[in-house]
Amino acid sequence: NAGVTQTPKFQVLKTGQSMTLQCAQDMNHNSMYWYRQDPGMGLRLIYYSASEGTTDKGEVPNGYNVSRLNKREFSLRLESAAPSQTSVYFCASSEAGQGGGNIQYFGAGTRLSVL
Amino acid sequence: KNEVEQSPQNLTAQEGEFITINCSYSVGISALHWLQQHPGGGIVSLFMLSSGKKKHGRLIATINIQEKHSSLHITASHPRDSAVYICAVRSSGTYKYIFGTGTRLKVLA
């Protein structure tokens, strides 16, 4: 049971390049999330998907797009990378929430540098 | 002011000490989570609380909903407990989580 798998683990981009971060979970979770983590700040939500076929903006969505390809996969795309997008990106998943919270399971993270 | 505040930001302890990390929040929540981020970067969930107290091994988490406050306690701390501990709340009626900035704990042998 792999849990949440993110690829790649590391990436260096030049300003203006595009890339897609992949995330897949094998726990049959409905909800999936993309976060970024920057020094001195808490994890910030970029986008989330409450269930297959739905996506919603989080706190910092500008410069990103997402696709909930199916129940397992939730990808994050940077269309034109900027140095401000240098960060560590985490994907997470949880069971669908009905009021009370559910434990989130995190991927190992992707360290992205934009030069 | 952040919606989730943790204290202290940094903590150094000697092996065996009792440790307390605090979390205060200002929004209505459906649950509060304590997470551990290892030096290598991986994040694991330690506890999910909506009321009362939970215990797992040497870790104890408590929450006071009326005071909007939670504490994470580590008894008999060990160097392997060195990590960043993150408090996160799930905002009521949403799927969104709000994270504190974390408490960096170092336990010295």
Backbone angles phi, psi at B80, to 5 degrees: -70, -10
φ, ψ (nearest 5 deg) of residue B79: -55, -30
Residue B97 has pLDDT above 80, yes or no: yes
Asked if B70 and B63 count as a contact pair (C-beta separation under 8 A), the reply is yes
State whether A109 and B102 contact (CB < 8 Å).
no
Chosen from B3, B43, B47, B103 to mutate, greatest number of chain A CBs within 10 A: B43
Q: Please list every residue in chain B whose beta carbon sits closer than 8 Å to the beta carbon of residue A109.
A: 41-43
- Chain A residue with minimum CA distance to B90: A101
Lowest mean pLDDT among A61-65, B21-25, B87-91: B87-91
From the list A43, A104, A109, which residue is nearest B45 (CB)?
A: A104
Residue A99 has pLDDT above 50, yes or no: no
Query: How many beta-carbon pairs below 8 A join chains A and B?
Result: 65
Measured between CB atoms, which of B30, B88, B98 is closest to A100?
B30
Looking at beta carbons, which residues of chain A come within 8 Å of B98?
42
- Is B30 close to A88, i.e. CB distance below 8 A? no
* β-pair partners for B74: B19, B59
Q: Are B91 and B28 in contact (CB under 8 A)?
A: yes
Contact B45 A105 (CB under 8 A): yes
Report the first-to-last Cα separation within chain A, whole angstroms: 36
For residue B99, the chain A residues in CB contact (below 8 A) are: 35, 42-44
Structure confidence at residue A101 (pLDDT): 57
Burial group, residue A22, by CB count within 10 angstroms (0-12, 13-18, 19+): middle
pLDDT value at position B39? 81
Tokens of B85: 């501990």
Q: Minimal Cα distance from B31: which residue of A?
A: A101
Which of B18-27, B73-82, B85-94 shows the lowest mean pLDDT across its residues?
Answer: B85-94
Q: What is the pLDDT of residue B65?
A: 93
Residue in chain B nearest A37 by alpha carbon: B101
Question: What pLDDT does A40 receive?
Answer: 82
Kindly provide the residue ranges of all beta strands, DSSP E only, lying in B8-102, ordered along the sequence.
10-14, 19-25, 29-37, 43-49, 52-56, 59-64, 69-74, 83-91, 97-99
CB contact under 8 A, B86 and A43: yes
What's the mean pLDDT when you consider all of chain A? 91
Model confidence at B75: pLDDT above 70:
yes
- Residue A96: what pLDDT? 63
